[in-house]
Chain A
Amino acid sequence: MKRLFSLMVAGGAALLLTMPVLAQDRPDLLLWADSTRAPALQELLAQFSEDYGVVAQVQEIGMGEIRSNLTVAGPAGEGPDIVIGAHDWLGEYLQNGAIVPIDLGSKAADFSPSALDLFTVGGQLYGMPYAVENLAFFRNTDLVPEAPETWDEVFAITQELVDSGAAPRGWVVSSNASYDFQPVMSAFGGYVFGRNDDGSYNPQDIGIGNAGAVAAGEYIDQYVQAGYITPDIDNDVAVTLFGNREAAMMMTGPWFLNRVRESGVPFAISAPPAGPAGPSMPFIGGQGFMISAFSQNQLLAQAFLTEFMATTDAMLAMYNIDPRPPAFLPAVAAIEDQDMVAFQQAGANGIPQPSIPEMASVWGAWGNALQFIINGELTPEEAYTQAQAQVVELIGVLDAAPTSVGLVGTVQMFFGCPADWAPECPNTFMVADGDTSFSLSTAAIPAGDYEIKIALDGTWDRNFGMGGAAGGDNIPLAVAADGTLLVFSFSTTDNVLTASEGSAALVGTVQAALGCPGDWQPECAASELASNGDGTFSLSTTALTAGDYEVKVALNDGWGINYGADGVRNGDNIAFSVPSDGAAVDFVFDGTTNVLTVNVAG
């Protein structure tokens, strides 16, 4: 037994020594492409290898796998140098740092700027585009000779065609593809994500449930009510109906152009019609080359792209295998296909299909909404309100109007809360004083050291601490003296909570008399209340003439926090009368109850 074991160990060791490390010989440059494009690249790479003496190969991988396996194969050292994919993969790739910027150098001028935009994030270009694509409006020219200008016209034409029996259906739309709904929705004023000043998408601003989106839903609902649009239509079915002359109008992209041509239907391509909110804005998508961050051959990869691929011949080879409008301008010039030109024109008002990762949360809910309308299950308003709510929940939108913004911490008892660290206590809920800012004031906190945080919605689910970090550390708060007027403010843009000593000033029709340039001016220093050191603030005057006055208290020289009658934030003005000129009037503001008391002598 022992002998056998030692024999085995020896044998194993011998095998280990004799077995050479059989590393697969890796090409100098490895590409991943799907089966549509790989054949074209195979030929191009053979050419490249021959011209430059560099061994370049393409592996055929499914689209989904290219997207997901780059981050698996890459760290293991087995990934590609270049992947070919759609621009909307950028979000996921960048989240994982899986691709690197590309410097097109002087070649950049040869690309259509809008195509480069698609692959640009934060000012950096992350892909070399070779094609762009968008939906265009198709019509059967026998049935619809003129391109409709507006969506209302489309409905009128549909009505006429169906009622006259000229065609069983007018315009058809895929019943679950939200991508196809975007042109309509945008023409009525709906949008998926709002845009920042630099043109990038803001995932916190979602417009799937706004009035425009609902109006677009109601537009579709007209067709549903009249029976012009039925459930269970997908892209394939829509093109088939169009090809069989069962439908007169539809929208589709360059990918189905060949099918439409083969059907023999006389057709024309135009821009999607406009709506009450302006032109339709179809999504523009891009296809391009991206360089893996795990690649050891990034320089060669860049050189391959800028020197070899960014040429008219190579770009036309890509076009021929996958006919979509090229992004490379010299190649565009070399293409005679008028339909491709029409597609590009139809995309003139288009907007980039969002490539931020949050878009993944949108498709399902958004598409379902359309399906609910077409199935007749929900009204457009119900459908899109629900979709909006779902997307908001999925993305975790912060200004999804938190139901409450609560100050929590060791100070809560001073606000009359039953306990500290109680996010559900309404006494410490902050009040909005702007679109994204919330505030709260008190003078009730005695001197000492405290800790505070912010909790939204009355729960701990969304809470913010130091530096606005979600779930971050507690924020220390030192109160120097009793009766300090503290102003807590919180901004939902950066989730930062600050606490500072505040000032209180009298505002109202008394200000001019107190030496201010005018009335109702919170920034005026002359009407500032002086601290009494016990949490109350006061001002006495004899400068008022007889008459009726109205006042409030404003904190920190602005309207952000102001208190009216009974200490109500943003409450009614406090009215009082001065019986005679020069009567002594005392104003006392209690920083704990926020009540302003006016004592008029006599």
Chain B
Amino acid sequence: MSSSTAVSTAAKVAVVQPRQAPALSAIVLRAARILCIVLLLAFALFPILWVVSASFNPSGTMASQTLIPQNIDSLEELFGNYTRLFNDPQVPFWRWVGNSLFVAGGSSLCVVLVASLSAYAFSRFRFKYRRNLLLSIFLVQVFPNVLAMVAIYLMVLQIGKYVPFLGLDSYGGLMMIYIGGGMALNIWLMKGFFDTVPRDIDESAMVDGATPTQIYWRLIFPLVRPVLAVVGLLAFTGTLSDFLLARVLLTDRQNWTLMVGLYSFVEGQFSDNWGVFAAGALLTAVPVVVLYLFLQRFIVSGLTAGAVKG
């Protein structure tokens, strides 16, 4: 209770923190911090290094791969996996990328919109059974859905008979599932952040006669941009790297998302397209990292900047 009050009052005014002169202990601390960062990065990046190496490795399986690609005689061989991705007529790579970006972008936007509305309501309004509802949606998500795949497949199949744009081999159905699938978690994540936005902001606006809709769009929305960015990014990444669901629902090669297409390279128990798969997977990571770099300014600068205005 006390801690949250601290946030509320503190957030009202942003004060620039004066820099202190570096002391010896500070230098030691700094060195320790750098060392930790280096170790952290090494741990995080070593397997990635392996993926990078695989993408330049002509050998077809993981077991036969070496960290430094062997037997490379020409640049062509070095980039063989990438050329195959871009040039193989059976691999409409850019189309897959486009499909992926469309599905991931569209569904993460919808997720942000729909989840933030709910999170706002749960955070700001008081209504009967609010807690129960909030807990219920959490519990629903906890259910180990051993048959979810069967149920969802059957559902999409049946809806698709009458509404093709929500059926099998359509993005509508797939996106609907992506949007609904992680809803509870996203609402929870957002609500947690919404709760840290001081209530006096909307209370004072309410006194001025603003409707909840106005308060939400004009005051709250700008303030919660960090969490919107985080949720959007999480949804985007999750959608982009999913292949289980997309593989079941998309049946035409031209309509596949990138991950489904890439998965087809390693799907067979004895397939030897590991390098191509790794190359494609690395390229999948690019939009996520780019998006993160772009969203960082929202994530990092959000709350306090907005609070000054409020």
Contact = CB atoms under 8 A, between A and B. Distances in A.
- Do A and B contact each other directly (Cβ–Cβ < 8 Å)? yes
Interface of A: 21-24, 34-36, 38-39, 59-63, 65, 69, 72-73, 76-78, 234-237, 239-240, 243-244, 253, 255-256, 258-259, 262-263
Contacts of B90: 39
B251 A24 contact: no
A481 to B, nearest CB: 59
Chain B at the A interface: mostly helix, strand, loop or mixed? loop
Given A60-B252, A61-B251, A239-B63, A78 B157 contact: yes
B226 interface: no
B253 interface: yes
Contacts of B271: 36
Nearest to B170: A24
Interface of B: 60-64, 90, 150, 153-154, 157-158, 160-164, 167-169, 247-248, 251-253, 264, 267-272
Contact of A24 (B160, B248, B264): B160
B253 A237 contact: no
A168 to B, nearest CB: 16
A35 B252 CA distance: 10
A194 to B, nearest CB: 28
B247 A62 contact: yes
B247 A23 contact: no
Given A23-B162, A62-B267, A69-B248, 12 more contacts: A36-B271, A59-B252, A72-B153, A72-B154, A76-B154, A77-B161, A234-B63, A235-B270, A236-B64, A237-B63, A239-B63, A244-B64
| 4 A-B pairs with least C-beta separation | A35-B264, A255-B270, A59-B251, A240-B63
Contacts of A63: 267-268
29 contacts: A21-B162, A24-B167, A34-B268, A35-B267, A36-B268, A60-B252, A61-B248, A62-B247, A62-B248, A62-B267, A65-B248, A72-B153, A73-B157, A76-B154, A76-B157, A77-B161, A234-B63, A235-B269, A236-B62, A239-B61, A239-B63, A240-B61, A240-B63, A240-B64, A255-B268, A256-B270, A258-B272, A259-B64, A259-B272
B74 to A, nearest CB: 17
Nearest to A57: B252
A60 B160 contact: no
Contacts of A263: 64
Contacts of A243: 64
Contacts of B62: 236
A258 B157 CA distance: 39
A76 B251 CA distance: 17
Contacts of B167: 24
A77 B251 CA distance: 16
B268 A236 contact: no
Contacts of B253: 35, 38, 60
A236 B251 contact: no
Contacts of B160: 24, 78
B150 A236 contact: no
Given A24-B160, A76-B158, A256-B270, A69 B153 contact: yes
A151 B62 CA distance: 30
Contacts of B268: 34-36, 63, 255
B248 A72 contact: no
A22 B161 CA distance: 7
B247 A65 contact: yes
Contacts of B272: 258-259
Nearest to B169: A59
A236 B63 contact: yes
Nearest to B256: A60
A39 B248 CA distance: 18
Nearest to B64: A240
Contact of B267 (A34, A69, A76, A234): A34
B147 to A, nearest CB: 11
B264 A22 contact: no
Contacts of A239: 61, 63-64
A78 B267 contact: no
Nearest to A322: B268
Contact of B150 (A61, A72, A78, A262): A72
Contact of B61 (A23, A34, A36, A236): A236
Nearest to A234: B63
A39 B92 CA distance: 13
A421 to B, nearest CB: 38
Contacts of A60: 251-253, 264
A458 to B, nearest CB: 34
Nearest to B60: A259
Nearest to B167: A24
Nearest to B261: A35
B292 to A, nearest CB: 31
A23 to B, nearest CB: 7
Contacts of A72: 150, 153-154, 157
Contacts of A69: 153, 248
A152 to B, nearest CB: 29
Given A69-B153, A69-B248, A78 B61 contact: no
A22 B158 CA distance: 12
A259 B167 CA distance: 40
A259 B60 CA distance: 8
Q: Which of B64, B157, B164, B253 has the most CB of A within 10 A?
A: B64
